């Protein structure tokens, strides 16, 4: 047998395996629950990537940013171009070390969560992105049971992505997909400033 | 001291630490090299998220897909809306278990790489995304030294993102940032079909 034959045979075996896997997989007629956590980069970026993908299919997307402040970011500037498809809410008032006021932070997180609940139950969205909600949960600015309930009671149509490091076990338990972003090498640690169009 | 004072003090310390970190960080006047690898989801998605971010700042972006076939994806449909800002090239002919022809796969990978080299050196782009190039490298469809050289010889303006599992050590060595996406829980393995607007 030639090397080309070997290759063809190996690829046919792979294809058969893949087909079997796809055949077994169940098509579920409901939105998925995705958690992006870990200390590495890419948690919010990949949620914005999924946002772009959903928009490509004509889906309706809502974004609630729990922690990000009001400074200009590339993602917000970009997705603002699609007011008919993207509903964008930056509710946080910046990182906690900027506000230095726990009561104000809690109020901001709760207000963002009220908005999120409306969006999740409305039935108007294919995808709701709760960006950095894990940070609000980690500091106990939000109650985990309330968040779990809101996700369970969401519209059947709606997929939800929850981002931020230190995702609570209750969320990971509930999720269909959990991805952990692990930092192998980081430019900030190597002494490089955050870069426009890459980091924000 | 009240609990609110404690909080304020802790947050002030965090803020000071953060400021010190930012002050020390160096602003480098060149494009960065980012590698997204690992078995988890989010490698390409987060690259598309960074693409959205870059477009928000008015940047020019080029995408070369090394492995993806010609089927319809949400990301391509979406970014096709911005022909003035995004140059999109799907050069692969689908996954290798579909073509079952190693010579054809190698020719497709090489043709994609020739295109990538032009884009990297042109100076016309702020960001070049080499999607799934790691797969082409893993199967030795491309020569790692040629890829490393092409990245080193890119325009100073151009950041580059390389995605795909099993990134070569030579690439991780060269990169400013390496993120590994780790699969904690995966819907496909749990028997759920890939979902439009989420997975493709």
Q: B191, A25: Cβ pair inside 8 Å?
A: yes
Nearest chain A residue to B8 by CA distance is A100
Supply the CATH number for residue A139's domain: 3.40.50.300
Closest-CA residue to B137 (of B129, B128, B146): B146
pLDDT for A194: 83
Q: Which residues contact A100 (CB under 8 A, 6 or more apart)?
A: B7, B8, B11, B12, B15
- For B156, which DSSP code? T
Q: Which residues of A touch B192 (CB under 8 A)?
A: 25-28, 32, 176
pLDDT > 90? residue B58:
yes
Task: Take residue A126 and report the two structure tokens written for it.
Answer: 């294919």
Is A49 part of a structural domain of the chain?
Answer: yes
Q: For residue B25, what is the nearest residue in chain A, using CA coordinates? A: A191
Enumerate the residues of chain B whose CB falls inside 8 A of the CB of residue A103. Answer: 4
Q: Decide if A96 and B172 are in contact by the 8 Å CB cutoff.
A: no
Give the integer Cα–Cα distance in Å for A194 and A199: 6
How many domains is chain B partitioned into structurally? 1
> Can you give the residue range of the structural domain that contains B135?
29-190
The confidence score (pLDDT) of residue A91 equals 74
User: Residues A45-63: pLDDT tens digits?
Assistant: 999 999 999 999 999 999 9
Is residue A108, in this structure, part of any structural domain at all? yes
Separation in Å, CA of B145 to nearest CA in chain A: 21
Q: What is the pTM assigned to this prediction?
A: 0.84
Does residue B197 lie in a domain region? Answer: no
Burial A23-39 (b: 16+ CB within 10 A, else e): eebeeeeebbbbbbbbe
Measured between CA atoms, how close is A99 to chain B, in angstroms? 8
**Residues facing A89 on adjacent strands:** A64
A14 with B56: Cβ contact below 8 A? no
**Whether the Cβ atoms of residue A165 and residue A180 lie closer than 8 Å to each other:** no
- Whether A134 maps to a domain, the answer reads yes
The helix-helix angle for B3-24 and A102-122 (nearest 10°) equals 80
The interface pTM score, or ipTM, of the predicted complex is 0.82
Spell out the residues 6+ positions from residue B95 whose beta carbon is closer than 8 angstroms to its own.
B67, B69
Note whether residue B22 is domain-resident: no
The whole-number pLDDT of residue A98 equals: 57
Instruction: Tell me the chain A residues in contact with residue B33 when contact means C-beta distances shorter than 8 Å.
Output: none
At A122-135, the pLDDT tens digits run: 999 999 999 999 99
Chain B residues inside the 8 Å CB shell of A24: 191
pLDDT at A13: 75
In a domain, A23, yes or no: no
CA nearest neighbour of B166 among B199, B143, B200, B132? B132
Q: What is the residue-wise DSSP string for A11-61?
A: HHHHHHHHHHHHHHSB---S--EEEEESSSS-HHHHHHHHHHHHHHTT--E
Of B75, B179, B198, the CB nearest to A40: B179
Question: pLDDT band for position A190 (50/70/90)?
Answer: low
Query: In the prediction, which pLDDT does B122 show?
Result: 98
Q: Which of A27, A194, A198 sits opposite B193 (nearest CB)?
A: A27
Residue B187, pLDDT score: 63
Q: Which alpha helices (DSSP H) does chain A contain, by range? A: 3-24, 43-56, 74-79, 96-99, 102-122, 133-138, 144-152, 169-174
Range scoring the smallest mean pLDDT among A92-101, A142-151, B101-110, B114-123: A92-101
Mean pLDDT along residues A20-36: 79
Looking at residue B16, what is its pLDDT? Answer: 75
The answer as to whether B11 is a domain residue is no
CB atoms within 10 A of CB A148: 15
CB A149 within 8 A of CB A183: no
Q: What is the pLDDT of residue B93?
A: 61
Q: Which one of A179, A189, A193, A195 would you mutate to disrupt binding with B, by most B Cβ within 10 Å of its Cβ?
A: A179
Distance (Å) from the C-alpha of residue B114 to the closest C-alpha of chain A? 24
Any domain includes A176:
yes
């Amino acid at each position: 047998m030639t090397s080309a034959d070997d290759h063809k045979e190996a690829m046919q075996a792979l294809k058969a395996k893949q087909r079997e896997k796809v055949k077994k997989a169940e098509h579920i007629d409901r939105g998925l629950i995705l958690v992006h956590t870990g200390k590495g980069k890419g948690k919010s970026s990949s949620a914005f990537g999924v946002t772009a993908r959903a928009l490509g299919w004509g889906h309706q997307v809502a974004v609630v940013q729990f922690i990000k402040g009001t400074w200009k970011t590339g993602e917000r500037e970009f997705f603002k171009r699609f007011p008919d498809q993207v509903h964008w809410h930056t509710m946080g008032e910046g990182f906690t070390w900027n506000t230095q006021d726990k009561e104000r932070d809690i109020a901001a997180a709760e207000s963002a969560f009220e908005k999120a609940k409306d969006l999740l139950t409305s039935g108007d969205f294919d995808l709701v992105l709760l960006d950095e909600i894990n940070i609000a949960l980690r500091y106990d600015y939000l109650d985990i049971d309330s968040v779990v309930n809101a996700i369970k009671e969401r519209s059947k149509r709606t997929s939800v992505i929850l981002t931020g490091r230190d995702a609570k076990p209750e969320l990971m338990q509930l999720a269909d997909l959990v991805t952990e972003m692990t930092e192998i090498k980081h430019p900030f640690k190597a002494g490089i400033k955050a870069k426009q169009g890459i980091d924000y």
